[in-house]
């Protein structure tokens, strides 16, 4: 993400426009969004919407986290850790 302030602003606007959110929850949500970009993302993206059209898939749990990383637009390859590699091997063998 190259514009974290835009993400935070969009989430704050979404919270402000939510007519069903109680004022107590609104204050907590605004504070959380200002402190953590993953919280901002969580207020903008409904995880259920990501899987609703996949047959046989039911969302059991969703969570968000974020970590600052350096972006290299020239890089053609993503660094995969061991877990990513293991998953790809399992998927290829299935």
What is this structure's pTM?
0.62
pLDDT band for 79, please (50, 70, 90 cuts). low
pLDDT tens, position by position, 33-51 = 999 998 999 899 988 898 9
pLDDT band for 87, please (50, 70, 90 cuts). very low
Domain ranges of the chain: 1-54+62-68
Quick check: 26 and 15 in contact, CB under 8 A?
Answer: yes
Residue 30 burial (CB count, 10 A)? 17
Q: What one-character DSSP code corresponds to residue 18?
A: -
């Amino acid at each position: 993400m190259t514009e974290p302030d835009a993400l935070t602003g969009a989430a704050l606007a979404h919270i402000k426009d939510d007519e069903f959110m109680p004022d107590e929850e609104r204050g907590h949500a605004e504070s959380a969004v200002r402190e953590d970009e993953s919280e901002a993302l969580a207020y903008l993206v409904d995880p259920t919407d990501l899987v609703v059209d996949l047959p046989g898939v039911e969302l059991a749990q969703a969570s968000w986290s974020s970590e600052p990383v350096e972006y290299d637009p020239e890089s053609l390859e993503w660094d995969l850790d061991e877990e990513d590699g293991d998953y790809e091997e399992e998927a290829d063998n299935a």
